[in-house]
Amino acid sequence: MQSHLPHNFLKSLEGLPGFDKEPFVEVHEQGRQLTSIRLNPAKPTAAVNDLPLESTVPWCSTGRYLTERPSFTLSPIFHGGAYYVQEASSMFIQYVLEELYKNVTPPTRVLDLCAAPGGKSTDLE
């Protein structure tokens, strides 16, 4: 498979556990950028029905992938707090904590903020 990714870069990844060259190259050659959002469970879910929803983020029940990136600055439901634009990888912390603390009885509160657009803002209760 011919790639535009640097040969030395791909070579450095080959020995890493879980690295699969073909899908890695394919996704990077496509240039497709995934946009993901996290729904606010305290808001009505019907509010986001007009968004171009594609699928649920596998490790986050409130995470969704979008088929296209809308203009969030013009979205009244975004400004109303129905969802937050968040990378799916930043949602993984919820899954990890749920797995680690399956036997912990509530109340458990976690607030993890790294304030940056598209960054990480997590509130687990």
- pLDDT for the residue numbered 8: 92
- pLDDT for the residue numbered 95: 83
Instruction: Please list, residue by residue across 84-95, b when 16 or more beta carbons sit within 10 angstroms of its beta carbon and e when fewer do.
Output: bbbbbebbebbe
Q: Which of these, 11, 2, 84, 21, lies nearest to 48 by C-alpha position?
A: 84
The residues spanned by each domain of the chain are: 1-32, 33-124
106/39: higher pLDDT: 39
What dihedral angle (degrees, nearest 10) is formed by the CA atoms of 111, 113, 54, 59?
-50
123/15: higher pLDDT: 15
Q: Which of these, 62, 77, 72, lies nearest to 121 by C-alpha position?
A: 62
For the chain, what is the largest distance between any 2 Cα atoms, rounded to a whole number of angstroms? 52
pLDDT in tens, 12-24: 998 888 888 888 8
- Does the structure show a pLDDT above 80 at 60? yes
10/122: higher pLDDT: 10
C-alpha 112/C-alpha 110 separation (Å) is: 6
- pLDDT for the residue numbered 114: 65
- pTM of the complete model: 0.65
Tokens at residue 46, please?
């019907």
C-alpha 78/C-alpha 4 separation (Å) is: 37
Least confident of 26-30, 81-85, 87-91: 26-30
Distances (CA, A) of 104 to 59, 100, 101, 108, 112: 19, 9, 5, 8, 19
Strand-pair partners of 121: 113
Q: Which listed CATH number (1.20.1510, 1.20.58, 3.30.70, 3.90.1200) goes with 33-124?
A: 3.30.70
Strand-pair partners of 123: 111
